[in-house]
Amino acid sequence: MKPYRLSFALLLLLAYLGVQALTGERGLLSGSSRDALLGQREDQLAHLTEQRRDLETRVRYLRTDSLSRDLLEERARAVLGFSDPRDYVIRVPGPAVQG
């Protein structure tokens, strides 16, 4: 029985590595889940890139050399909570704060 121990251990190791090569996280059979995850991440990247472009445009218009009065007024109203007397203000209750 002693001469077969090494062969048996190598066979078990080979079987383990073969199963991992097929079904592991980076195995051959998990390609579709990786592709789906890649698609989700690409969509997320596109959304974040668009959001960044929008924020960069807003920042550019808030700089002193190219200040947009409309954007400045919009941000001041949003931050300070003010409104023009001619504006219609509809208050919507926010989410309940749990303390």
Measure the CA–CA gap between 54 and 60, rounded to whole angstroms. Answer: 10
Inter-residue contact 59 to 52 (CB < 8 Å): no
Q: How confident is the model at residue 97 (pLDDT cuts 50, 70, 90)?
A: low
pLDDT tens digits, one per residue of 61-95 = 777 777 777 777 777 877 877 777 787 777 778 77
Beta carbons within 8 Å of 82's beta carbon, 6+ residues apart: 76
**Residue-wise pLDDT tens digits, 23-52:** 877 777 777 888 888 999 999 999 999 999
> What pLDDT sits at residue 1?
63
pLDDT at 42: 97
Determine the Cα angle at 80 with ends 77 and 75, to 5°. 40
pLDDT of residue 49: 97
